[in-house]
Structure 1
Amino acid sequence: MSKQAVDFMELSAYRKALDTSFVHRYSHGEDEWSWDIGMARAARIFLAALGDRPDQRILDVGVGRGRDASELIQAGHRVTGLDIVENSSWPLLRKRWGERLELLNSALQDWQPVDGRQFDAVLDNGCFHHQHPDEWDAYLAHMRSHVRQGGLIALNVFGVDSSNPVPGWREMDNQRQGYFFTEQGIRDTLESYGLTWQELVVIERQHGDAMYLLALVRN
């Protein structure tokens, strides 16, 4: 698996392109991931995998409009949500959940908690597959550094399908890119960064034959 399958723009320019893309999508109500049934199912599978231990501290990477964070809080957990763009839902989320939800405008690879806290688990429901290939190392290293030893990490990524069976990068809106994995490809990728494989769940997306691959791993 080559993560250099396309010619990427320079890193800082790509970060600006991601920001532009997501600001546009949220401001125009085009954030279809906020109500995507496959992503909602991924969050429920993650919640079930957390087990019965109450009041766990969860890091939600790409918190968006807080759909997954709200479900986790309703199940009794505390959530810190990161996102590269803030959207109009955040003031109401803060008002509704109070101290049980912390929302922060930051990329994962740039963020360090001021109190040095570690989390019991991390949910990345659709962010890793958009990262610039030069940041995969930093992205996953930061993720691991924020999770306790043995903690659960869930990454939900684009999977290849019958209409596009070849893994690799595909261009999206406003120069945003998405990497589409095979089942073995996402396992090999995460294990190569030191994560311990637990399970893969294949989830149908809400259009066409498209698939998500939900990888459950341990730190």
Structure 2
Amino acid sequence: MSKQAQFMDVSTYRGALNTSFVHRYTHGEDEWSWDIGMAKAARVFLAALGPVTNQNILDAGVGRARDASEFILAGHRVTGLDIVENSSWPLLRKRWGDRLTLVCSALQDWQPPAGELFDGVLDNGCFHHQHPDEWEAYLSAIRQCTRPGALIGLNVFGVDASNPAPGWREMDNQRQGYFFTEQGVRETFEHFGFTWQDLVVIERQHGEAVYLLALVRT
């Protein structure tokens, strides 16, 4: 991991994120689309939703819709948000029809259709890239678009042996990533008003690195 991150202002950072993700998708460098740890996180979230089908799920950071497609196959309806649209979206819309709605927007900017509430939300690797000044707006947006008691899964970077201290790290193309301790994950999401349910530690495909999947309720 590189040196401790130094944050730019929100607007500039948003532009850097957009540029980074456009570059990664255009050049086939979106390793998260086939990351085995993130795939496991989606399966854990799906199991935690329980046996009731036809639930309304929000996939924040839908990407190439790997997770969303799995949720649809399990009998659910999905709205997928992402800050950039990638080349797979036209085919995904054709394949899934009205079972999948794809929207190009940041979560904290998005206004869901009037009256639409979600039974569950999965953020599989997006929150830890958000500018710290937008954490509150980002998590408030999740609370505002969900039913009371909805299941929220937030999968974030965890500290590991090579990077034991929590905090920001510089990543590629001016992206930043926050690495959490297990205690820090719980404290963060409880601070922003979520009810704690569980934490699942998931191995990443990079050495000793891990994800921390927080399962919380509104």
Give, in whole Å, the separation in 2 of the partners of 1:143 and 1:98. Answer: 24
Give the Å deviation of 1:8.
Answer: 1.1
Partner of 2:10: 11
Give the Å deviation of 1:174.
Answer: 1.2
The answer to whether the 8 Å contact 2:5/2:170 transfers is no
The answer to whether the 8 Å contact 2:119/2:151 transfers is yes
- The correspondence of residues 38-187 of structure 1 with structure 2, limited to 5 A, is 38-187=37-186
Give, in whole Å, the separation in 2 of the partners of 1:114 and 1:38. Answer: 32
Identity of aligned residues (%): 76
Partner of 1:28: 27
Give the residue type in structure 2 aligned to 1:95: K
Aligned positions, number: 215
Partner of 1:213: 212
Give, in whole Å, the separation in 2 of the partners of 1:181 and 1:75. Answer: 31
Give, in whole Å, the separation in 1 of the partners of 2:103 and 2:75. Answer: 20
Give the Å deviation of 1:6.
Answer: 4.5
Give, in whole Å, the separation in 1 of the partners of 2:114 and 2:104. Answer: 17
Give, in whole Å, the separation in 2 of the partners of 1:115 and 1:101. Answer: 18
Give the residue type in structure 1 aligned to 2:186: R
Structure 1, 112-121 or 99-108: larger mean CA deviation:
112-121
Task: Return the TM-score normalized by structure 1.
Answer: 0.97
Task: Return the TM-score normalized by structure 2.
Answer: 0.97
SS in 1 for 2:43: helix
Give, in whole Å, the separation in 2 of the partners of 1:143 and 1:128. Answer: 11
